[in-house]
Structure formats: C-alpha cells, structure tokens
Structure 1
C-alpha cells in the first residue's frame, strides 16, 4: 500500500514538473517584439523578420492613431513582419524634397535597427495612401535601397481635382456639417496651390497620384514589378444618407478607374481592386466606410508573406 502511495505521489509530482517545464519553455520561446518610438515613427521589430511593412496615417493622424484604428501590429508581429508606423501626415501630394526626406527617414531607421528589407511593402489609409503611391514610385524610379515589392491604399482621395470638385458640390449642397467643413478647407488649400483654368489642370495632373480627366498615371509609371492592392468600401446607402453623395462622388469611383488603368498597364495578376462590404467601423464602434478597418488584416499579412 505504501509502495502504491509513493508511486502515485511521484507520478503527480512528475506531471507537475513536466507541465512546469513545458510552460517555462513556452515562455522562453515567446519573445516580445522590440518597440522603438521616435519623433518620426514607431517601429515594431519581431525576433525573426520575414517582411517589412511601412504604414502611413490619414491626414490629421499619426502612428498612435494607426495603432488604434488598424489592428495590424499583433498579427504582423506573430507572423514575423516588422512594422514601421509613420507619423508623417497632412499631405495629399508630395514635393520632390518631401520624397527625399521620407526616404532618408526610412533608410536611417532601417540601418540603425538592422531591418531586413528584402520583402518590403508600403501602404496607407486615406491621404496616407496617396503618400504611399507617390513614395513607392519614387523609390523605384531612383533605385533606392528600399525597394517595395508591394503597396496598397485604403479609400484614398487619389484624384485631387475630383476631390476639389466634390468639395465644391458639398459646399453648394450644404447638407452635412462635417462634409461642408472639410470642403471649405479643401477649397481654401487647393485654390492657391493649384490655381484654375488650363494651368490649374496641369498642376493637378502633375501632383495627383491619378488624374481621371486624362486617365493619367504618369506619377505611378515605375511600378512595373510592384504588386498593388486598392481597397475601398463603396457603401452607397451610407454615403447617401450621411453625406448626400452618389457613387461618382466617392473615393471608390476614382480608385476603380485607377485600378482599370493600372491593370491595362501592368496586368491583372499585379493589380487588385478590393471592394469591401460592411467592414468599415471606427475603433469607437461608429459605422464609417472610410476607415482602416475595411482591410482584412490577416489577408493583408498573408499577401505579404506569399511574395
């Protein structure tokens, strides 16, 4: 009897020891990613690096807002994807100097933190998508040490003239206070920057990622070996009820045209227009089709890892 009791105790203790060892092994193998915060960005580096994702925020936003609105950091880290959350904002277009400055910030971050850039992707939401498109084209054209394999945008206002014309409509309709406020701001910023008439059209074409009036994609002409995803959620009912807007007034309208023109230039295998449905919600729970959330985070990571 005593012998059986001793054996039972040993078995229990052995099981506890085995469970404890397994738990300790699991804790040792789970290593938290390195997090680096600077004036220009937040950088999250996993132990192993299988990809590098650079993200640009919306117009008034920053890295912290991207973290809040886009649940990508934990998923990326668990899939060995390094993420660079940029603070660069308040830009719908880029000057050559701004492109150079952005490249320098990213290159320095890469060098200082030993980032593997073999599988680099760039993307952004709203105006951050405009920045992503123009910067990716610049990096390819200059043969930068940062060479993106893919890029994506989420509901970005890629046609600046279209954005301006829709702003004028919103002022005239005077239906939604947020829409009118944004419209007045756009007109006040664009009029002195671009001008009007023939000269104005040339300025819009020179600075826009896409210019639908002439189907111009000259600012995206160096992306022949870059995979492109264009996300938008054209919820016509929401836009009609909340902004009195039709499909032709939405970012999706111009993004779909861009997708067609890029496909003609680069081929169907390289360009994908992703029309989402009922995904757009802000972090506070508000329904809004103009949101980071229209992107399926795991789907995006799978796309990056498939390269």
Structure 2
C-alpha cells in the first residue's frame, strides 16, 4: 500500500512537471508567434504579444513582398525579437514626386494605425531603388507635422542615390558595348532620365530636385530633414567583380557615391551616419554571386541596431 502511494505521488509529480513544461512552451510560442496579414499593397508580419519595433522594407526596382522574403530572410529573427515587419509592394521608383510621397506616407501611417503598431521605434530600409524610396519618404515624413510615424533609423542597401551619376555611367556603358545586361539597363536609364529631366549638362538642377545625392554639386537637400535620424549605408565595393562582369570603373559603382554621401553627411553634422562596406557577402538566394544583393546586410546586427543593443 505504501509502495502504491509512492508510485502515485511520483506519477502526479511527473505529470505536473510535464504540464508546466508544456505551458511554458506554449507561452513562449505564443509570445513569438506572428499574425500574417496579406494585402494587395503589402504584407505585414505582426507579433501577437509585445512589439519591440516596426521594420518597413522596400524592394529593388522589380521586387515585391515575395521577392524581399526570398532574398532577405529576416522574418525568423524578427519574430524571435518581437519586431513587426512590413514588406511593401511599392517599387519601380528611382525618385519620388511630391504627390507620391504624400500618398505613400499616408498609406504607411494608415497601415500602422489599422494594425495598432507602435510608432516610437520605426525603422525603414530598402535594397537598390528601394533604398532611394526609404530615404526620400523618411525625409518627407519627418518634415511633415501631420504624420507621426517618424523613423528612428533609415538604411539603404547598395542604392543608386545619384541620378546624374546614373546618366553619365549609362553613357559610358553604351560606348563600351560590353555586356548585354549593362547595355539593356543603360539604354533604359538614358531614356527614362532623359525624358524626365533632359541631359544633366543642360540642366543639372532638375536632377538635384529629385535625387538623394548629387555628388558633382554636393547636394543633399532632399534628405536634410534626417540630420537627427540614424542612417546606415550598406554597400559591397567589389571592384573586381564589376570590372570583370560589367567592365565598370569604381566611379560608376553605387558604392563610390554611397561612400561620398557618408563623407558629405558627416561633414554636414548629421547625428549618426554609418558607412558599412562588406566583402564577399553579396549572393542572391539562388547562390549566384552578385555584390548588388540584400545578403550584404548582417541580419542579426541589423536587429540589434533596431533594438539599440
């Protein structure tokens, strides 16, 4: 009888411990679980419990939310740190018109309100042209009092920030006639920039009004509101890869103008500007080596930056 009582007691203790363990696991799982909200314009991955920050991402010229998820696998680590991630389908922009800035800012604010996201720790970033959008829309939001979603930090990933440089580089590429991707892109860029702004030789002012940065005139007026905002500038200046694959000089690379922008902003007294060059990190999701990739961003370190660790 005594032995039976002991066995029953052991059984009860084991069951109790197992239940407590399962309850703890359930609580932990619930704490880090995401609610997925899929809309036509965006995808939102929102922690079910406490939200430590909001990360808004813009893809490169043809990228939508699915492309961002594939090339920049940030969702798992964001979930572990209770950070909401908003993936925007807004793309195909090398500059923003004033009406586009207003519409986009209003849409972003509405998404944040509708989904009850906190506004005190917002970070905005993007790859390639998405980085251009990130800087320009952040500058617009900070400068407009009717919006209360001011970002704490903004980052770009190898973005084409200088429109004059793009025009001149495209002219060089067409003269070289070296690689088909380069020829196609340069032809399109000359047509697009030329039809909208003309040749920068004739009126560089039109370019200055739209570009993030114009190196030849040291113009940064379109991000002047971000003087107290944390800024990160990621790039992978692999001159050998660009020379072998595109016959491009360093002065034709995004990396050159990104570095010059960091130097210019630091001299102008911007609060926190980090220039982050990488080495051999640029690979596409399919394994293709390409320094112009989301992969140059250290995701863990980025999350720590957002959480200010």
For the criterion TM > 0.5, the same-fold answer is yes
Moved more, 17-26 or 6-15: 6-15
1:35-87: CA deviation from partner (whole Å, max 9, x where unpaired): 11111111111121111111111000111111111011121121121111110
Which segments of 5 or more consecutive residues in structure 2 lack a partner in the other structure? none
Partner Cα distance (1:12, 1:197) in 2 = 82
Partner Cα distance (2:112, 2:180) in 1 = 43
Alignment TM-score, normalising by the size of structure 1: 0.94
Any idea what SS the aligned residue of 1:44 has?
strand
Moved more, 139-148 or 291-300: 139-148
Match of 1:260 in 2: 263
Match of 1:80 in 2: 82
Match of 2:109 in 1: 107
Moved more, 44-53 or 83-92: 44-53
The answer as to 2:239 corresponding to 1:213 is no
1:228-271: CA deviation from partner (whole Å, max 9, x where unpaired): 0000001112111111122111100000000001111134x601
Match of 1:117 in 2: 119
Which segments of 5 or more consecutive residues in structure 1 lack a partner in the other structure? none
Match of 2:304 in 1: 302
Match of 2:180 in 1: 177
1:170-228: CA deviation from partner (whole Å, max 9, x where unpaired): 11112111111111111121111111255431111111100001010011111121010
The answer as to 2:232 corresponding to 1:233 is no
Alignment TM-score, normalising by the size of structure 2: 0.93
Output aligned runs, 1:1-307, within 5 Å: 7=6, 11=10, 14-15=13-14, 17-31=16-30, 32-46=33-47, 47-143=49-145, 144-196=147-199, 198-267=201-270, 270-306=272-308
Partner Cα distance (1:29, 1:296) in 2 = 26
Partner Cα distance (1:208, 1:104) in 2 = 22
Any idea what SS the aligned residue of 1:222 has?
helix
* Residues 1:197 and 1:181: Cα distance change in structure 2 (over 3 Å): closer
**May I ask how many residue pairs the two structures share in their alignment?**
305
Partner Cα distance (2:20, 2:289) in 1 = 47
* Residues 1:244 and 1:16: Cα distance change in structure 2 (over 3 Å): farther
